[in-house]
Structure 1
Amino acid sequence: MDLIEDLQWRGAINQQTDAEGLRAELAKHPVSIYVGTDPTGDSLHVGHLIPFMMLKRFQEAGNHPVMLIGGGTGSIGDPSGRNSERVLQTMDQVRANQEKLTNQLVKLFGTEDFQVVNNYDWLSQISILDFLRDYGKLFSVNTMLNKEVVASRLETGISFTEFTYQILQSVDFLHLYRHNHVTVQMGGADQWGNITAGVDLIHRIEGADTPVFGLTIPLMLKADGTKFGKSAGGAVWLDPKKTTPYEFYQFWLNQDDRDVVKYLKYFTFLSHQRIDELAEAVKTAPEKREAQRTLAQEVTKFVHGEDAVMSAEKISHALFSGDLRDLTADEIAQGFKDVPSVTIPRGQTNIVEFLVDLTKIEPSRRQAREDVQNGAIYVNGERQQSLDFTVDTDAAFNGDYVIVRKGKKKYTLVNVKG
């Protein structure tokens, strides 16, 4: 099975400009292929993984991936997928975002045989007269208006700035063809118009038989029809400071049975046989969630590394069992990020005073004494039934936290200061 057949089996190809031509090109020699992303934020998110995973597959098959960060195009805004103009960022913000995205990309793709380029480097060198003379004359407004990415905005309105985006993206493809030997552009389904415009520009300038190709990836929808990539808390980021590795792991672990096989095909490098085995497990023993656990392990390992997987599973086990003693302070911060929290000064306090006066976990001393004596109070994972017990803030987790559990599941994260 060749690369294109594998991608088709995984449901990863939507449209191609020349399917047979690309297959023939791949059979002859490795190709250089690029994906672009604009630095509109300071982190990538799981939605970006959709084209990135395909780019990684090309890399694994011996081809040469090029990642374009749109320092130039990102300063004006891509009209796709929205009903309004993008808010323009300052160039300082674009540059700061670009640096952070570059670091994330190198982590995913490595430094060997992988390039990150910035289209600001060449777009900023084109004067307005050169732009209109050398490129504007080669684009028909009628054709541009018929591109879905523009047509979808005609009713609500589109500025000339965003209207020209497809020309700039076409210039990117031409530049990368000439200077980086790139012959393939890949993007999401909403990029089809921009990609085909780039192929057409190269054919106009370099010749109709120039071997350049475009392909898009299907829109990723969940079984309920909503867009993939969101959680209850919003976007799921690749930056561990914005979405902890534990939260990232849980996002994949909690996927619907109806979606998990599709995601295994798309977001992992597991063999067809192993994915078929997991698909069967979803049918015969869905309660074990083996497919979801494998998905969470594989994607977390790809983005954050093997240690992050081990830590996420350690946190999950500790929360399930209630035994928190082996967790590190960092793992406590990850696992209890979303539970109710209070902040107290460092020191030693009788458990009743701790529960009532310091943390307000209990409404009264009477209730606190009753819950302690009944065995409903756990401090740092251990049940405390003595009214004489002293809570020592330095007893665990580097003195940064105290974890209190009331009953079976009601946790409070106590932050220690001073």
Structure 2
Amino acid sequence: MANELLDDLKWRGLLYQQTDEEGMRKLLDEQKISLYCGVDPTADSMHIGHIVPLLTLRRFQQHGHQPILLVGGATGMIGDPSGRNEERQLQTVEQIDRNVEAIKVQMQQIFDFNAENGAQMVNNRDWIGSMSIIEFLRDFGKLISVNYMLAKDSVASRLEGGISFTEFSYTLIQAIDFNHLYDNYNCRVQIGGSDQWGNITSGLEVIRKNHEEETKAFGITIPLVTKADGTKFGKTAGGSVWLDAKKTSPYEFYQFWINTADADVIKYLKIFTFLERETIEKLEQSVETEAHLRTAQKALAEEMTRLIHGEGALEDAQRITKALFSGDLKALSSEEMKAAFKDVPSVELAKEPANIVDLLVEAGISPSKRQAREDVTNGAISINGEKVTDLEHIVDIADRLDDEFAIFRRGKKKYHMIQFN
């Protein structure tokens, strides 16, 4: 079973570094284990860049191992210097607590908490928050030398520009987490992104020095996910793709995945979905032979939207997509229209009745009154999915959705949102 799991992770491109691959295989062959991944609550939602290690942890759960999900109520108040060139802005205890609760809800969407090997959720403030500075320095500060910490990339990269003692101490604090879980939860493995290698090995060093017997603890990191062109994954024109439906709607989430480039889609199917190898290989063939059908992208979008937002949200996202493709906007609610057209060109106008020709020019939808008249008479203009061909049409409250906005379409694909105030 160990070979099957680790070989699958390799095939999916999910293994970047391992502290001891042979020892890890032996451990997994001998027993079912507990292993953990941590997330610091620096925001009230995770984004898709956070979930690769978590989804990898979920794969271990599918093979009978028990995941421990650590939400860093303590480490989130300190700030991880990994991958950063400046100090984090410290958050209040109240904000951290709100973030912790929000992230817990998102974890519950990804993991099975009710199985025999159900996921466990822990908060490191429960053991670090009550620790005195004397305990910290005597019990753990003596275990790691300053030279050892200075050699960590997360620290070394910050020395020239400066790093506070607060962030300098982060790697040791995270090491306490691994040691605590090793002692109290029989946790044998930590999983993290590639930027967490230094923190993971610090944890292994603390465990080794704290235990006389031969320790069996291991670390695994996941490679940074990038696009085929080398640019950063998980960003759109509007910013990060969040798991919180209020920050990134299920429709936007679905569209992010369905717009994946052909060069990336199979890689993402391997990394993010739980589809079997045979299924992914068939989808890979479809990319090569019938890429225009975008079958692989549809599978990726469906799997990810269902996982994060559920079946109902997936169906809504697909319905909105179908309505936009067909031009049948009348099938959408005002909220769905607002979500679907969030990123189209937008202009604000006063809530006053206006002639359609004048409005098209004022809003910049048609470049001139002559062109606006041609657009209307030729049937090229529609409001909220309804074609307008009358040059005397007055745009008023009847055309406004929720008395707030209207969606104008010129031609087949040029959409504009007018927001009325």
Q: CA-to-partner distance for each residue in 1:190-232, whole Å, 9 max, x for gaps? A: 1111111111211221234122221111122221122322223
Q: CA-to-partner distance for each residue in 1:329-363, whole Å, 9 max, x for gaps? A: 22211111112335678898764576568x67567
Deviates more, 1:278-287 or 1:126-135: 278-287
Q: Distance in 2 between matches of 1:14 and 1:268?
A: 18
| Preserved CA contact (<8 Å) 1:329 1:400 | no
Q: Unaligned 5+ residue runs, structure 1? A: none
Q: Distance in 2 between matches of 1:369 and 1:143?
A: 74
Q: How does 1:19-38 map to 2 (within 5 A)?
A: 19-38=21-40
Q: How does 1:267-416 map to 2 (within 5 A)?
A: 267-342=272-347, 351-352=356-357, 355=360, 361=365, 368-387=372-391, 389=393, 393-394=397-398, 401-415=405-419
Q: How does 1:178-193 map to 2 (within 5 A)?
A: 178-193=183-198
| Preserved CA contact (<8 Å) 1:77 1:88 | yes
Q: Distance in 2 between matches of 1:160 and 1:399?
A: 54
Q: CA-to-partner distance for each residue in 1:4-41, whole Å, 9 max, x for gaps? A: 11111111011112222222322333221111111111
Q: Distance in 1 between matches of 2:353 and 2:148?
A: 74
Select which of 82, 85, 88 maps to 2:87: 85
Q: Aligned pair 1:125/2:127, yes or no?
A: no
Q: How does 1:4-43 map to 2 (within 5 A)?
A: 4-43=6-45
Q: Distance in 2 between matches of 1:416 and 1:110?
A: 46
Q: Match for residue 47 of structure 1?
A: 49
- Provide the TM-score with structure 2 as the length reference: 0.90
Q: Match for residue 3 of structure 1?
A: 5
Q: Distance in 2 between matches of 1:369 and 1:203?
A: 79
| Preserved CA contact (<8 Å) 1:32 1:182 | yes
Q: CA-to-partner distance for each residue in 1:164-196, whole Å, 9 max, x for gaps? A: 111101111111122223221110111111111
Q: Distance in 2 between matches of 1:57 and 1:26?
A: 13
- Which residue identity is paired with 2:54? F
Select which of 57, 61, 64 maps to 1:62: 64
- Which residue identity is paired with 2:417? L
Q: Unaligned 5+ residue runs, structure 2? A: none
Q: Cα RMSD (Å) of the superposition?
A: 2.5
Q: Match for residue 241 of structure 2?
A: 236
User: Residues 394 and 346 of structure 1: is their aligned pair in 2 closer, same or farther, counting only changes over 3 Å?
Assistant: farther
Q: How many pairs does the alignment contain?
A: 416
- Which residue identity is paired with 1:219? L
| Preserved CA contact (<8 Å) 2:38 2:72 | yes
Select which of 120, 128, 131 maps to 1:115: 120
Q: Distance in 2 between matches of 1:135 and 1:161?
A: 15
How far 1:128 sits from its partner (Å)? 1.0
How far 1:88 sits from its partner (Å)? 1.6
Q: CA-to-partner distance for each residue in 1:277-299, whole Å, 9 max, x for gaps? A: 11112222222222122111111
Deviates more, 1:25-34 or 1:242-251: 25-34
How far 1:267 sits from its partner (Å)? 0.5
Q: CA-to-partner distance for each residue in 1:30-53, whole Å, 9 max, x for gaps? A: 221111111111211110011111
Q: Percent identity?
A: 53
| Preserved CA contact (<8 Å) 2:383 2:399 | no
| Preserved CA contact (<8 Å) 1:393 1:402 | no
Task: Give SS of 1:138's match.
Answer: coil
- Which residue identity is paired with 1:205? N
- Which residue identity is paired with 2:83? G
Q: Match for residue 76 of structure 2?
A: 74
Deviates more, 1:143-152 or 1:276-285: 143-152
- Which residue identity is paired with 1:56? R
Q: How does 1:154-193 map to 2 (within 5 A)?
A: 154-193=159-198
How far 1:89 sits from its partner (Å)? 1.7
| Preserved CA contact (<8 Å) 1:188 1:217 | yes
How far 1:131 sits from its partner (Å)? 0.9
Task: Give SS of 1:325's match.
Answer: helix
User: Residues 7 and 392 of structure 1: is their aligned pair in 2 closer, same or farther, counting only changes over 3 Å?
Assistant: same
How far 1:148 sits from its partner (Å)? 2.2
| Preserved CA contact (<8 Å) 2:70 2:122 | yes
Q: Match for residue 200 of structure 2?
A: 195
| Preserved CA contact (<8 Å) 2:109 2:307 | no
Deviates more, 1:41-50 or 1:384-393: 384-393
Q: Distance in 2 between matches of 1:356 and 1:220?
A: 44
User: Residues 218 and 356 of structure 1: is their aligned pair in 2 closer, same or farther, counting only changes over 3 Å?
Assistant: closer
Deviates more, 1:348-357 or 1:59-68: 348-357
Q: Aligned pair 1:142/2:147, yes or no?
A: yes
Q: CA-to-partner distance for each residue in 1:305-327, whole Å, 9 max, x for gaps? A: 12222222222222222111211
User: Residues 79 and 407 of structure 1: is their aligned pair in 2 closer, same or farther, counting only changes over 3 Å?
Assistant: same
- Which residue identity is paired with 2:293? K
Q: Aligned pair 1:207/2:212, yes or no?
A: yes
Deviates more, 1:378-387 or 1:76-85: 378-387
